[in-house]
């Protein structure tokens, strides 16, 4: 099969290294953990101290964010005591970027020193037990775009990033999932909104038809979105430990009698309403990563 290297394959090792060097020469922070802020979850980056931030359009070879609620900058700093780097805004396939290009910043995170990735997103609930405002810890995902032959790892493999073939059975680190549940359990009001489930990514930007929603339910999907899966694949490929969660911003339309709830601006507002709890959850999970690395 012929690959169009410009559109499908993006980010040679040398290119990613050049970006990493550019950043490391301009910040004293040496991050251990990368955090990707989903739609409406950019507040996470606002919690950092000792900040050095870089607008995407000033970083060599970086794509730019085109989605409302995605600020478009990379923020280095400390979350509590732990040095981190946050993507305040991510890249989506529907913006016209290949999956490799959407996920390229994860490799940058790895080459600036991150061993862990925390990805967050806004997602629609397929599971009828869920409610808007729930937080779903991602236990596993279904790479539906991968079933159709689209994957961020398409094309020649560079062993300096990771292996050609990649096991994904424990993509979401069970230990971190368990830490997050313990942490959340100690936070007031979290038990009522905390879920654990299976996330699935579609290309978007359209939302699901009723028939598609019902199919996803049959497949065992709890929440559906347009990101995260390819970032986790890329992170696992380069040996990063991963944790992710979805903020449930809407119930998917599962019957023809229901009114459709989709509105990106409302999704961003749901994020704002929960930002205090989300920031606390992430701060505590990151602290546990810091503790585990210092022992
Ligand atoms: O970046 P995330 O996955 O949070 O963004 C979700 C999916 C779409 O980009 C958008 C839909 O409103 O929110
Ligand atoms: N595909 C998809 N992405 C979302 N992001 C936020 N809500 C939704 C949804 O219902 N479907």
Q: Convert the pLDDT of each residue in 254-263 to its tens digit.
A: 999 988 777 7
CA separation for the pair 231, 38 (Å, rounded)? 12
293 pLDDT exceeds 90? no
Structure confidence at residue 1 (pLDDT): 43
- Domains of the chain in sequence order: 27-154+166-255+262-292 (3.40.50.1580)
Ligand 2 geometric centre to CA of 130 (Å)? 14
Tokens 């978007």, located at residue: 204
Helical ranges in the chain per DSSP H: 13-24, 43-46, 99-111, 144-147, 174-185, 210-218, 229-237, 264-273, 275-294
What would the two tokens of residue 241 be? 């430990």
Mean pLDDT of the chain: 93
Say yes or no to pLDDT of 2 above 60.
no
Closest approach atom of ligand 1 to CA 262: 12
**91 labeled part of a ligand binding site:** yes
Residue pointed to by tokens 């699901």: 208
- Say yes or no: ipTM exceeds 0.85: yes
pLDDT of residue 273: 87
Asked if residue 227 belongs to a known ligand binding site, the reply is yes
Cβ(208) to ligand 2 under 6 A? Answer: yes
| Residue reference for tokens 């690959």 | 3
Q: Is 200 in the pocket of ligand 2 (CB under 6 A)?
A: no
CA of 1 to the centre of ligand 1 (A): 31
pTM of the model: 0.95
Determine how many CB atoms are found less than 10 A away from the CB of residue 51. Answer: 15
Q: Which atom of ligand 2 is nearest to the CA of 262?
A: 10
Q: Would the CB of 39 count as within 6 Å of ligand 2? A: no
- Centre of ligand 2 from the C-alpha of residue 129, in Å: 17
Which residues are near ligand 1 (CB < 6 Å)?
Answer: 38-39, 67, 90, 92, 121-122, 204, 225-227, 264, 267
Task: Estimate to the nearest angstrom the gap between the alpha carbon of 116 and the chain centroid.
Answer: 12
Which ligand 1 atom lies nearest to the CA of residue 120?
4
The confidence score (pLDDT) of residue 41 equals: 81
Report pLDDT digits (tens) over 23-34. Answer: 999 999 999 999
Q: Is 295 exposed, middle or buried (0-12, 13-18, 19+ CB in 10 A)?
A: exposed
Q: Is the CB of 122 under 6 A from ligand 2?
A: yes
- Over residues 95-117, mean pLDDT: 97
Calculate ∠ Cα 115-117-121, nearest 5°: 175
Cβ–ligand 2 contact at 250 (below 6 Å): yes
Tell me 165's DSSP state: S
Is the pLDDT confidence value at 181 over 60? yes
State the average pLDDT over residues 138-167: 96
Q: Give the C-alpha separation, 54 to 49, whole Å.
A: 15
208 is in an annotated binding site: yes
What distance in Å separates the CA atoms of residue 234 and residue 161, rounded to the nearest whole number? 9
39 annotated to bind ligand: yes
- Report, as an integer, the average pLDDT of 97-107: 96
Q: How many angstroms is it from 247 CA to the middle of ligand 1?
A: 10
Q: Which residue has the higher pLDDT, 211 or 6?
A: 211
Q: What is the dihedral of CA 172, 264, 72, 64, to 10 degrees?
A: 100
Question: 53 pairs with which residues across the strands?
Answer: 75
The CA–CA distances, whole Å, from 196 to 34, 84, 107, 143, 216 equal 22, 25, 27, 17, 17
Q: Is the pLDDT of residue 186 over 70?
A: yes
- Alpha carbon distance, N-terminus to C-terminus of the chain: 48
191-234 per-position pLDDT tens digit: 999 999 999 999 999 999 999 999 999 999 999 999 999 999 99
Considering every ligand atom, which ligand is closest to the CA of 201?
A: 2
Longest dimension (CA), the chain: 57
How far apart are the C-alpha atoms of 141 and 110, rounded to whole Å? 22
Which residues are known catalytic residues? Answer: 39, 70, 92, 94-95, 122, 226-227, 250, 264
How confident is residue 295, by pLDDT bands cut at 50, 70 and 90? low
């Amino acid at each position: 099969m012929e690959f169009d290297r410009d559109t499908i394959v993006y980010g040679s090792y040398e290119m990613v290294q050049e970006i990493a060097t550019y950043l490391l020469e301009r910040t004293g922070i040496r991050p251990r953990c990368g955090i990707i802020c989903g739609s409406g979850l950019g507040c996470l980056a606002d919690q950092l101290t000792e900040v050095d931030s870089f607008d995407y359009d000033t970083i060599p070879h970086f794509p730019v964010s085109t989605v409302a609620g995605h600020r478009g900058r990379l923020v280095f700093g400390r979350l509590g005591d732990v040095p981190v780097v946050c993507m305040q805004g991510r890249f989506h396939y529907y913006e016209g970027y290949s999956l490799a290009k959407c996920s390229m910043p994860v490799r940058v995170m790895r080459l600036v020193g991150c061993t862990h990735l925390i990805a967050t997103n806004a997602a629609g609930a397929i599971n009828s037990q869920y409610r808007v405002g729930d937080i779903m810890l991602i236990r596993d995902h279904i790479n539906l775009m991968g079933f159709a032959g689209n994957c961020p790892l398409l094309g020649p493999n560079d062993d300096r990033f990771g292996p050609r073939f990649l096991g994904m059975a424990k993509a979401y680190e069970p230990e971190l999932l368990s830490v997050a549940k313990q942490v959340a359990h100690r936070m007031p009001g979290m038990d009522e909104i905390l879920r654990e489930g299976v996330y699935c990514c579609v290309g978007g930007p359209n939302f699901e038809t009723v028939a598609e929603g019902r199919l996803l339910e049959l497949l065992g999907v709890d929440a559906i979105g347009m990101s995260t899966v390819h970032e986790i694949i890329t992170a696992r490929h380069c040996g990063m430990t991963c944790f992710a969660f979805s903020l449930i911003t809407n119930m998917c339309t599962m019957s023809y009698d229901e009114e459709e709830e989709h509105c990106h601006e409302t999704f961003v507002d749901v994020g704002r309403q929960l930002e205090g709890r989300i920031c606390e959850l992430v701060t505590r999970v990151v602290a546990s990563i810091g503790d585990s690395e210092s022992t």
